[in-house]
Amino acid sequence: MKQSWRGKIVVVTGATAGIGRATAERFKALGANVVCLARRKSDRFDSFCADVTDGESVSRAVAAIVAKYGRLDALVNNAGGGISGPVENADPAEAERLFALNFFGALRMIQAVLPQMRAQGGGVIVNVSSVAAEFAIPFQAFYSASKAALSSLSDALRSEVAPFGIKVCTVLPGDVRTDFTASRKKGASDPAYGKRAERAVRAMERDEQNGMPPEEVARAIVRAAGKKRPPVKIVVGAKYKCFVFLRRILPARLVAFLLGKMYG
């Protein structure tokens, strides 16, 4: 039996654009009270300003949401970003900022909502990871690493909170047409890597610009959140499901070789 979202309180981070906005709109269409949590206000949904990389900001926002609505039924951790370039030339501070957003931002949100979900006897958390968590993509190492860390966090959390009636699912989209492509921070070029890094980034951008619409990912997120027993992971996009399946059965050396040919 599918869950009814009418009157439920759903918090979506990064709901001002892309996957987050499409997800929020789909929940709203199903009758949910959608709360957008982002650094800027949204005129489409009830909105609370917060920076997920700031623990105090997150705590204040979640406390305000609970004070207003009295409960919190679902959290979609969608806020994220990316950087590209050779590992050798990466600014460690930039890599730390990416992890602060993609991993620790989700962690802060999880820690903020769990007491309320536990007190009310249940809830659902959907963490938006990426197919890049399954494939260590050359010249996008820190994005892959941060999303892999988020996937691992989700797997462990799922077991920890199951006795409280709290469900956890990880959604792994493939390439999606959003403003993520334009907002990706590009690292410094290095002659030692020739044109390889530039070609890799161009390939990423081409795949993203020709990718699936964010609404397809939104449908998968809402469907997963509404399941009585959501799967541990959901890969979005038929060809990406095939890629992930092959990655799990092919020798690691062959997978690395193919990725090197595609992006290296």
| Residue-wise DSSP of the chain | -PPP-TT-EEEEETTTSHHHHHHHHHHHHTT-EEEEEESS--SSSEEEE--TT-HHHHHHHHHHHHHHHS---EEEE-----EES-GGG--HHHHHHHHHHHTHHHHHHHHHHHHHHHHHT-EEEEEE--GGGTS--TT-HHHHHHHHHHHHHHHHHHHHHGGGTEEEEEEEE--B-STHHHHPEEPPP-GGGTTHHHHHHHHHHHHHHTSB-HHHHHHHHHHHHT-SS--SEEEESHHHHHHHHHHHHS-HHHHHHHHHHHH-
How far is it, in rounded angstroms, from Cα 21 to Cα 226?
18
The residues that are catalytic are: 143, 147
Predicted local distance difference test score (pLDDT) of residue 23: 97
Predicted local distance difference test score (pLDDT) of residue 195: 79
User: Six-digit token pair at 62?
Assistant: 């979640």
Tell me the whole-structure pTM to 2 decimals.
Answer: 0.90
Angle at alpha carbon of residue 7, lines to 2 and 13, rounded to 5°: 85
| Tokens 């070029």, located at residue | 189
How far is it, in rounded angstroms, from Cα 210 to Cα 156?
34
How far is it, in rounded angstroms, from Cα 88 to Cα 212?
32
Exposed / middle / buried, residue 16 (Cβ in 10 Å: 0-12, 13-18, 19+): buried
**To which CATH superfamily is domain 9-263 assigned?**
NAD(P)-binding Rossmann-like Domain (3.40.50.720)
Predicted local distance difference test score (pLDDT) of residue 181: 64
Per domain, the residue ranges of the chain are 9-263
Q: Are 126 and 224 in contact (CB under 8 A)?
A: yes
Predicted local distance difference test score (pLDDT) of residue 92: 93
Per-residue pLDDT of the chain (264 residues; tens, 9 = 90+): 467 899 999 999 999 889 999 999 999 999 999 999 988 887 788 999 999 999 999 999 999 999 999 999 999 999 999 988 899 988 999 999 999 999 999 999 999 999 999 999 999 999 999 999 998 888 889 999 999 999 999 999 999 999 999 999 999 998 898 777 666 777 666 778 877 777 777 777 787 777 889 999 999 999 999 999 999 999 998 888 887 888 788 888 887 887 777 776
Q: List 71's β-bridge partners, or say none.
A: none
